Amino acid sequence: MTSDLPTVLHAEDVRFVRDRRALLDEVSLTVHEGEHWALLGANGAGKSTLLSLLGAYQHPTTGRVEILGHRLGRVDVRELRAWIGHVNPHHPLRSARTVHEVVLTGATGSIELVPHWKPEPEVTDRAEELIELLGLASHRDARWPTLSHGERGRTLIARALMPQPRLLLLDEPATGLDVAARERLLTSIDLLRNARPGLTSVLVTHHLEELPASTTHAILLRDGRVLASGAADDVLTTELISACFDHPITIEKSGGRWAARAS
C-alpha cells in the first residue's frame, strides 16, 4: 500500500562494504513522515551501519540513499544533518553541565556550550518546553555526572529536538536501564510522538521490550540483508523474529507493547 505522506527516508539496493566485507547487501527501505520504525537484528546484523547511512554519517558503496529529499553524494551533509536529531547514548560530554545547558547545546550542534553565546529567548523557551515534555522539569539544574542513565537518555532526546528536526534517530536508547527507567523513557518517547505528529523516527534495539507502544513499522536485518520490513504487527511475529535471531522465540503483544520469550 502506497502512502500519500511525504517520503523522509528512501534507501534502494544499498550495499556497504568495509575491508572487503559487505556489512549491508541489497537493503531497501522507505519511511514516510510521521512513521516510527523499529530497526532490529542480532549483533553484527548491520543495524548501526544502516543507521549511520540514514543519519548521513556514511555513504553507501553502491545503491542510493535519499534523506529528506536529498540524495547522499549530491548534498552538503553538514546542512542535511541540521534536520536530523541523532541520539547517541555514548554522548562524549566531559564537563559537569546542567540538564538545561546540555539541552541548549542542541541549538548550536556542539558538545559544550559555545563560549560567549547567549541564546535568544525563543531558544531558551524551546529548551524549557522540551525539558518539561521529556519529564525532566525536576532535574533541570541537575548536573550531568549526577544523572542516571535514563535521565541522561531523556536529556539527549530533548537536546536532539532543539533544532526542530524532521527526523529523529535513536540508537539503543534503553541500553543499560533498569525496568523503571526504561518504562519512563518509553513513556516519554510515546508522549513526544503524540505531541509532534509530523516527527519521523527510527529506533535501533536488540530487545522487543524496548519498543514504545507508538511504534508503527519495523525492519529486521539478518547478516546485512533485510529479512522483513513493513507494518510492525506484520513484522514482529514469532516466525519472523525466530528467523531473524536464529532461535525459537515466541512473541506476544499486550497493551500495545511486545514481549519475547524462548519457545
Instruction: Give the contacts of 63 (CB within 8 A, at least 6 positions apart).
Output: 11, 12, 13, 14, 15, 26, 27
Burial pattern 209-225, b for ≥16 Cβ within 10 A else e, equals ebbbebbbbbbbbbebe
Average of per-residue pLDDT across 4-11: 94
Q: Are strands 70-71 and 62-67 parallel, antiparallel or unpaired?
A: antiparallel
Q: Is the pLDDT of residue 96 over 90?
A: yes
Q: What percent of the chain has pLDDT over 90?
A: 80
CATH topology of domain 1-83+166-263: Rossmann fold (3.40.50)
Confidence category of residue 263, pLDDT binned at 50, 70, 90: confident
Edge-first strand order for the sheet with 84-87 is 84-87, 167-171, 200-205, 36-40, 217-222, 225-231
Confidence category of residue 205, pLDDT binned at 50, 70, 90: very high
Res 140: pLDDT: 96
Res 92: pLDDT: 87
pLDDT tens figures, 139-167 = 999 999 999 988 999 999 999 999 999 99
- 262 vs 29, higher pLDDT: 29
Separation of alpha carbons 111 and 94, rounded Å: 9
CATH code of 93-164, in short, is 1.10.8
| Single-letter amino acid, residue 30 | T
Separation of alpha carbons 136 and 146, rounded Å: 14
Q: Is the pLDDT of residue 2 over 70?
A: no
Res 3: pLDDT: 72
- Name the β-bridge partners of 12: 64
Q: Are strands 21-32 and 70-71 parallel, antiparallel or unpaired?
A: unpaired
C-alpha cell at 3: 502512502
In the chain, domain spans: 1-83+166-263, 93-164
Q: Is the pLDDT of residue 210 over 80?
A: yes
Confidence category of residue 90, pLDDT binned at 50, 70, 90: confident
